[in-house]
Every structure is written in C-alpha cells, then in structure tokens.
Structure 1
Amino acid sequence: MADSWLGPCPSRSPSLILTLSFPQFPWRSHSMSTLRSQNPKHFRCYSFSSIPNPSPVMPSLLVFSGGTAFNGVVEELKNFTTRVAHVLPVSDDGGSTAEIVRVLGGPAVGDIRSRCLRLADKSSSEAVAVRRLLGHRLPLDSRQAKSEWYDIVEGEHSLWTGVSKPYRETIRAFLVYFQNQILRRSDESFCFSNGSIGNFFFAGARTFFQSLDAAIFLFSRVSDIPSESLVLPVISTNDRLTLGCELWDGTIIRGQNEISHPTKGYMEPVNKESSSFPALPSRIKRVFYMSSEGQNLLHEVFPAANQSVLDQLRNVDCVVYAMGSLFTSICPSLVLIGIGEIISSRSCPKVLLLNGSRDRETSGFSASCFVTAITDALNRTYGNPHNCLANLPSQYINTVLVPKGGEIPIDVQHLAAQGIFNVIVVDSIHDPKAGVVFDPKSLIQALVDVIGRYTSTNLTAVV
C-alpha cells in the first residue's frame, strides 16, 4: 500500500493530512504515515509499520453513538473485535419509539433495538428468520398496520416461517404482553403505523421485567449477540427521559426530534437529510435532560450515568466518538457526571470519527468545532457551575479520522491549537441518502492501526 499526502511533505508545512487506503483486512502490516508535533507550527512526517497484536485477546472498544450512522460499520467491526461496548442514548422521541413512550412511558428503546439487530447472529437460517421478524416494520397505513400486527401477535404471519417453537413462544410471549399493556390503557389509542416489531418486543420485555437492563439481556440472547458485545444504555432507567437543548440566542428546544429532525407527527418516518429542515435560529450551546413536563431551564434534571458504562470506560483499550448527530446522538452520553472525569484520566486512543456531511445541528461547523462541542459536553462547561470540569480538548480526543471528500472543513491549525495532531483521512464511499460516509473496511483498518501504533509506542516506552 502506498501512503499519499494531500499537499507537499516538507516538515515545515502545517497543512498535511494523511490519506489512508486499506485494501487488505484485518491483520496485515502496513506502512503508516501521520502528523505529529509538540509545536503547532511545526509538523513532522514519519513512517510507522504497525504489527499484528501478538496477543490472542481482541482489543476492547467503547463506542459512543446513536442508532443509525454507526450501524453501517458494525458488521465490519465484528471482523476486528467483538469486545465492544456500544453506549447509546435513551432519549429518542421519534417514530414508533415515541408512540410507545407516549402510551407506556419509560425510556426510548429504538436506538438500542437497532444496534442489537445489527449485532445479531446471521450464521443460521433461524437466526436470519428471527432477525427478519424483529427488524420488520408495519405498513404506514394505520388499518393495514393494525391488521398485520394481529397476524403477527397471533402467530399466523409468514414472518414466523423458519422460527422454531422455543423461539416463537418466547418472542410471542412478550409481544402478547406488550399488546395487553396497551389494551389496559383504554384511554390511549395506540397507533401501530410504521411500528417496529423489535421495539414492541423490547417494550414488552422492559415492562414485564420493569428493568431496561433485563430487557436488553433478553433481546441479546434472543437475537444471539456475542456475549462479549455489550449494548449499554448510557442511563439505566425505567423512566422517561427528555432531551433539551439551549441555543446561543437563549432559545430552549424540548425533545430530540425537535432539535435534530422535527416531523409533523410522532409516527411519521424520519428523513434525516439536512435540506428537509429549517435551520436553527442559532447554534446549539449545549444539550441537557429535562423533566417529563418541563419546558425551560428550571426543569433541568441530572440523571446518573449507567455504572456499567463507567466501569467499561475505566478498562477499554480505545474510546470512540462515532459519526452521527453530534448534539442528539453523541453529546447526550457525554454530559453525564463521571463520563468526562474517567475519559480525561485514561491514557489510550480517544478517536473522533468525523461526519462526512453537515446536518441541522452542525451547520457551518469545521472539524475543530466538533472537538469543541465534545469537549464542552464532557466538561459540562455551560451547565451547573458546581459540576463543571476544565480539561483540555486533547485530554478527550487524540486522533481524528476523516472520511475522504467529506463536507466538513479540516482546519488543521485550529486542531493543532487544541493539541490534536493526529488527523487521518480514510477512504470513503457515497451513500445515496447520507452522502459521503466512511468505507467500512478502511475505517476499521484505520482503527486497527491507531490502536496498534499506540500499543507499540507504549511498549517501547516501557522498555
């Protein structure tokens, strides 16, 4: 593989960005060049040969993400390691999740269900059948949706084909329980339009066990997720959580959907293309949690971070801030007390996967703006002054991976001023809906090299 530089390569040039191309995967050694410096005005070029990890133990990662953007690389990531803690917010209030929360209350489960399905086993025909069933969405027409739902819950739908009796009875039991729960709330008319069968199963399990963690455990076993792959809600709760944001002009917006992609109705399918939505009146200053009935800053609440997330953060080999909606998918996990404290104390790769395009939340952003937003969230800069930290950006992020040809400007000098010198451009592909996105193989290989280089450097320092 040949490394190529965008621009000249004398050491005095401050505007060098590495382009990586990874035709092989996953453990072949590659020559790797990067940007490094102790002085923001003076970059050095050097070559590094990554080596395979001699240990049979796979590296462990913790990934902060939402339920959509990172899903595209989950399958490829499993080829590198299954020791991944997927940390997801529970504040989504769009689609069928919103309808479940409206009628049954509780945390949003859509992002968690989505990631669980991506991690689910596909090695047998039955595993594929279970995945197809739990990944199915009902028709948009409310009457057709209700009719199809009854066929499914009664076990008569063709989706049950290929699902053995033990699996069928287990899944049906929680779908029936979900149905009973909504029927008990006769004052609320539940709309099945565009409903996710996986969401209904998940909601049935959560309400039965009165535990989000127990529902995740059951779903993980039913969909046969590898035991070392963890899907963790950033807040372990059985209560409804509402996300709010404060804009720089003082405006308060309530609800994740209203912040990122407002729709006319709670069951309307979400089109996340940025051109579909009016621009925010000003940039987002911060996101925070609100009480269920709150409308302003006086109703801010401070839920505790899931202890399992904190425990994983203390021990993983790499922390990843995934691509996705910056303020509504990533930052809701970062603003909780304990998250910033642990990440800043760790000496490990801390990698930002930069988006390939802007959205309603990040209009006009450059790469350094993403770093600033993540730093402010982890420092809780604009929240309760008694809870604020004052850590530097480089204590939270030490590597930025950039999709080649993306829309976000890479302001290298500003990143250097933030203490971030390792900026790597990774091969990309064009998605018809999302635009420029990381090529999954190249992205995972880039993570392989980052982790391998860091491990090798540390071992050399110890020696």
Structure 2
Amino acid sequence: WGAHCAMAVGEEMAFLPAYQGAILSGLPSLRALTTKVAHVLPVSDDGGSTAEIVRVLGGPAVGDIRSRCLRLADDSNDEANAVKNLLAHRLSSKSNRAARAEWYEIVEGQHELWDGVSEPYKHTIRAFLVEFHTQVIRHSTERFDFSNGSVGNFFFAGARVYLRSLEAAVFMFSRVARLPTGSQVLPAIRTEERITLGAQLQDGTLIRGQNAISHPPGRTSTGIHPIPPGLSHSQA
C-alpha cells in the first residue's frame, strides 16, 4: 500500500508519502517537484537480508528505510556515486562462504568498492560496518548467513546498535548518502524492538509477517497459522 498528502509551503509543495512493500520500487521520484519530502516507512520487513539481521541481532527491520535512502542518495559526482554503489552492494549469492569472503574484504577496507571513497567517508562507513561485524561475532550461537547480504543494511544495523537509536542511524545514513536538503526518512514506529505484522483471514487463519502478507504462501506454509480456540481478535 502507499499513500501521501501534500500541502503548499510558500511556492513549493511539501509531501508526506507513506510506503509499504513492493510499492517502494514503483513510485515516481518526487525530487523533480520538491525536496521538502518526509518519507514514512515501515520497520516490519521480514524478507531477505533484513530477515537475517533481525533473526540474529533482533531490533526493527531497516530494509525499506535503506532502500528509500538509496533512491534519494546523491549521485552528482564520482565520490557520491562510489558511496552509493558501496551502500547499495549485495554480497555474493552463490554461497555463505563466498559471501563471507567478500564481506571480509569490504569490512577490512580492501575491496574495490572503496575506490573513489575519500578517507573521511571510508573511516565513517567502516566504523559502523565493523560494529555490525562485532555484533555478529558476539552472537556466535546464531551463525549469520551473509549470502546476498546488503552492505547498506549492515551499515544501518551497526549504526543502530552503536547509537542505540534507529532514528540516529537514519540520520547518520542520510548524511553519509547525502540526501537532499529538506528530505526526511522516518520510521513509521519509534522502536528498538522487532515488529511483526499479522493479518487475519475471513476463515479465521492468521498470516504472520510482512513478506507472507505481501506474497501469501500456500496453506501448508509456516506463514499461516490457525487462530487457537478462545483467542480473541485483539490478542491475535
């Protein structure tokens, strides 16, 4: 789903769009109209790289926020493009071993993706990637799968843990990616906890998880659960 409201601010329009799921990739850019845009995004994504981060480290999902930040990121010069390409990069999907090896090159500052990124930017970005890596090691009881992992998501997770605030992590990512002046990217819910969406069907079954709701699985999937007898709608 998606929705937005707009109001005039002087001679310029200000927009407040809200996004969910696949509509993120289908909306036209508002940058040609105005930079006064506040993007409100969910923190309940439970698919792909985001799901693995939440599984091991917990906390709110950042995939939709990261995606919107990258779409707004500056690409006006070579360094801006280098930073954007780094944060948009996904690790190898061939195997966890291949992805892990690529990740080590990145976190150690040796990967070719760092070419074109100045030392101040490199030092800042690496600091949060190292923090993310440290947290993964500390949670050694849960083996982390780096396959197809998003470097931008890893940066977000490291910043959120280090700064102890999702909003602070969004602020840091926005500065590093050089979002347009006047643009804001805001989480729909202010929380440091994991958020799980649920939907009740007419036959009483419950679908758990944003990914399962957006792409309904078969009835044999673990994404759909019968509501136990006696459980109220509010409890579900």
* Bin of the TM-score, shorter chain as denominator length: 0.7 to 0.9
Q: Label 1:73 to 1:242 Cα distance change in 2 as closer, same or farther (>3 A).
A: closer
Please tell me whether residue 244 in structure 1 is matched to residue 198 in structure 2: yes
Deviation at 1:255, TM superposition (A): 1.2
Give CA-to-partner distance per residue, 1:7-31, whole Å, 9 cap, x none.
Answer: xxxxxxxxxxxxxxxxxxxxxxxxx
Please tell me whether residue 201 in structure 1 is matched to residue 155 in structure 2: yes
Deviation at 1:64, TM superposition (A): 1.3
Identity of aligned residues (%): 60
Please tell me whether residue 104 in structure 1 is matched to residue 57 in structure 2: yes
* 8 Å CA contact 1:67, 1:110 repeated in 2: no
* 8 Å CA contact 2:41, 2:187 repeated in 1: yes
* 8 Å CA contact 2:44, 2:197 repeated in 1: yes
Deviation at 1:67, TM superposition (A): 5.3
Q: Label 1:220 to 1:110 Cα distance change in 2 as closer, same or farther (>3 A).
A: same
Alignment of 1:4-403 (within 5 A): 57-66=11-20, 68-74=22-28, 76-140=29-93, 141-261=95-215, 278=218, 297=233, 299-300=235-236
Aligned to 1:414: none
Letter of the aligned partner of 2:53 in structure 1? I
Give CA-to-partner distance per residue, 1:144-179, whole Å, 9 cap, x none.
Answer: 100000000000000001100000000000000000
Give CA-to-partner distance per residue, 1:344-387, whole Å, 9 cap, x none.
Answer: xxxxxxxxxxxxxxxxxxxxxxxxxxxxxxxxxxxxxxxxxxxx
Give CA-to-partner distance per residue, 1:280-327, whole Å, 9 cap, x none.
Answer: 9xxxxxxxxxxxxxx985645xxxxxxxxxxxxxxxxxxxxxxxxxxx
Give CA-to-partner distance per residue, 1:92-132, whole Å, 9 cap, x none.
Answer: 10001000000110000000000000000011110000000
Decide which moves more: 250-259 or 230-239. Answer: 250-259
Deviation at 1:260, TM superposition (A): 2.1
* 8 Å CA contact 2:39, 2:185 repeated in 1: yes
* 8 Å CA contact 1:175, 1:200 repeated in 2: yes
Deviation at 1:85, TM superposition (A): 1.2
CA distance in 2, matches of 1:101, 1:296: 28
Deviation at 1:278, TM superposition (A): 4.7
Secondary structure (helix, strand or coil) at the match of 2:99 reads helix
Find the structure with the greater CA-based Rg. 1
Deviation at 1:68, TM superposition (A): 4.1
* 8 Å CA contact 1:90, 1:235 repeated in 2: yes
Relative contact order (C-alpha < 8 Å, sep 6+): which is higher?
2
Q: Label 1:254 to 1:117 Cα distance change in 2 as closer, same or farther (>3 A).
A: same
Structure 1 gaps, min length 5: 1-52, 263-276, 281-294, 301-463
Letter of the aligned partner of 1:91 in structure 2? S
Secondary structure (helix, strand or coil) at the match of 2:173 reads helix
* 8 Å CA contact 1:66, 1:88 repeated in 2: yes
RMSD: 2.1
TM-score, normalization: structure 2?
Answer: 0.86
* 8 Å CA contact 1:71, 1:118 repeated in 2: no
Structure 2 gaps, min length 5: 1-7, 221-230
Q: Label 1:125 to 1:56 Cα distance change in 2 as closer, same or farther (>3 A).
A: farther
CA distance in 2, matches of 1:259, 1:85: 26
Secondary structure (helix, strand or coil) at the match of 2:54 reads helix
CA distance in 2, matches of 1:217, 1:67: 22
Q: Label 1:298 to 1:70 Cα distance change in 2 as closer, same or farther (>3 A).
A: closer
Deviation at 1:256, TM superposition (A): 1.4
* 8 Å CA contact 1:67, 1:88 repeated in 2: no
Deviation at 1:84, TM superposition (A): 1.1
* 8 Å CA contact 1:117, 1:223 repeated in 2: yes
Secondary structure (helix, strand or coil) at the match of 1:64 reads strand
Secondary structure (helix, strand or coil) at the match of 2:43 reads coil
CA distance in 2, matches of 1:203, 1:68: 22
* 8 Å CA contact 2:21, 2:214 repeated in 1: no
CA distance in 1, matches of 2:74, 2:41: 20
* 8 Å CA contact 1:117, 1:135 repeated in 2: yes
Deviation at 1:259, TM superposition (A): 2.0
Secondary structure (helix, strand or coil) at the match of 2:45 reads coil
Q: Label 1:81 to 1:151 Cα distance change in 2 as closer, same or farther (>3 A).
A: same
Q: State how many pairs are aligned.
A: 218
* 8 Å CA contact 1:68, 1:111 repeated in 2: no
